[in-house]
Amino acid sequence: MVELSSCDVAVIGAGIGGYVSAIRAAQLGMNVVLIEKGSIGGTCLNLGCIPTKALLASTHLLLKIRRSEDFGITVREASVDFGKMMIRKDTIVKNLALGVSYLLKKNKVRLIKGKGTILSKNRIHIRKVDGTEENIDTRYIIVASGSDPEEPPGIHIDRERIITTDDSFRLDCAPESMAIIGGGIIGVEFAQIFNALGTCVNILEKMPNILPLLDVDLGEAFRRILEGRGIDIHTQVDLESVMIGDDGRAKIKAASPSSHLELSVEKVLLTGRSAFTKDLGLESVGVKLRDTFIVVDEHMRTNIPNIYAVGDVTGGKMFAHVAFSEAVVAAENIAGTETTMDYRGVPTCVYTSPEIASVGLSEAEASKLGYGVSIGKFPYLANGRALTLGEREGFVKIVSDRETDEILGVHILGSNATELIGEAAIAMRLECTSQELGKAIHAHPTLSEAIMEAARALSRKAIHI
């Protein structure tokens, strides 16, 4: 017998997009059901943002210890316990998941563990993990099913030699060698983790630069840093084959404009992701898809008026902080408060060492859109706080409209870039000019002074260069 119940809003997926939309809808007075077939927190909490940042924090500390002599401190021996690193990561994930569970209970969101399938625009069928079934009648549906690792055509993921990022969090030791397919954010973060742990790392990227979606200056400068640490980077690469050889190692054949590449490695790490829309029942109710992604408007509404979608499943900017904002927009529109998404001020962050962060238009994007572009740049090497921290690598680059002086984009490579970018995001939200940003008094000595000096450099008023 199938149990029947009802609610105002049913949310499929308890990742950040799902649980935030559920909590916000509940705050707005609605009766909410949240459906999750796996772990609360989704990819970001369990197999993405948080685990990678936990491992990166360990390797950041390791890299710092290795140059402790620069600070007048001698560390006689620093050894890595990979198992303890993974336990620390798991503990952080568990504690945050418990926090999300508490928030759901506090806001009276009903959590159902099971797989949800849309039967009609107002009904969802749930096959629960305990084997029972339930139908939910609902006024609104929010799809927040997230994304899954992508299996490229012709490549078989055996989860032993050819693995996904999900599988990487289950390793019991750092491999001797690894080829990472994809030089985007995920690729370079994993490259740094395993390089620091002694793995021989190759990055294969099909575009002309690593970090191809960021300002080209960031990608080129960071490539030099990674290559200086012994990471081999191959760009403009077309994969020909990835398979397991007779010796049990993964074999890669690829071609670039200048050479033919053959690699034999212990592990191949695939970094691509695709929307999870399979078996959700979207086609049966006529929800429009583009490839595997759900098409939504600026209100996060699909072509079916009472069905919304948020997060990775929409195929926009696949960041947790974007899913958070989209979730709030969806919930508030359902509650009757018209709200829209504005993607112009979305920060992009890379948690490597040094960090990378960007918001707004790159220099090339601004030029392509027809802006007369002015550039202001300031190096970390000329920043007092950076020198005291031993963080000499990096720069701040500001792109502005030459005619109005409005800031169009800010790009940072350097220590604490992911924290500093918040100032730039606020400045752009308020349509700040470089003159205004350059006049704002910044404490000394701080890394944020580099933003002020880059803003001043646009009008040739920088002091320390």
Q: Write down the pLDDT at residue 4.
A: 85
305 and 440 housed in the same domain: no
Mean pLDDT of 211-231: 97
Q: Write down the pLDDT at residue 412.
A: 98
Which domain-ending residue is among 284, 312, 343?
343
Compute the distance between CA of residue 297 and CA of residue 299 in angstroms, rounded to an integer: 5
**Is a pLDDT exceeding 90 seen at residue 268?**
yes
Which domain-ending residue is among 343, 369, 394?
343
Q: Look at strands 293-294 and 238-244 and give their pairing.
A: unpaired
pLDDT digits (tens, 9 = 90+) for 65-79: 999 999 999 998 889
Asked whether residue 348 is domain-assigned, the answer is no
264 and 281 housed in the same domain: no
Under 8 Å between Cβ of 249 and 220: no
307 and 334 housed in the same domain: yes
Q: Write down the pLDDT at residue 6.
A: 95
Q: How many CB atoms lie within 10 A of CB 142?
A: 30
Under 8 Å between Cβ of 253 and 243: no
Mean pLDDT of 353-377: 97
Mean pLDDT of 421-435: 97
93 and 78 housed in the same domain: yes
Q: Write down the pLDDT at residue 77.
A: 87
Which residue from 208, 260, 227, 218 is spatially nearest to 417, judged by alpha carbons? 218
Mean pLDDT of 263-286: 94
Compute the distance between CA of residue 181 and CA of residue 392 in angstroms, rounded to an integer: 30
Task: Count the domains in the chain.
Answer: 3
Compute the distance between CA of residue 46 and CA of residue 15 in angstroms, rounded to an integer: 9
Mean per-residue pLDDT of the chain: 96
pLDDT digits (tens, 9 = 90+) for 331-345: 999 999 999 999 989
Q: Would you please indicate which residues are annotated as catalytic (active-site) residues?
A: 444
Which domain-ending residue is among 247, 271, 295?
271
Q: How confident is the model at residue 256 (pLDDT cuts 50, 70, 90)?
A: confident
280 and 229 housed in the same domain: no
The whole domain housing 36 covers 3-148+275-343
Asked whether residue 172 is domain-assigned, the answer is yes
Asked whether residue 156 is domain-assigned, the answer is no
CATH classification at residue 170: 3.50.50.60
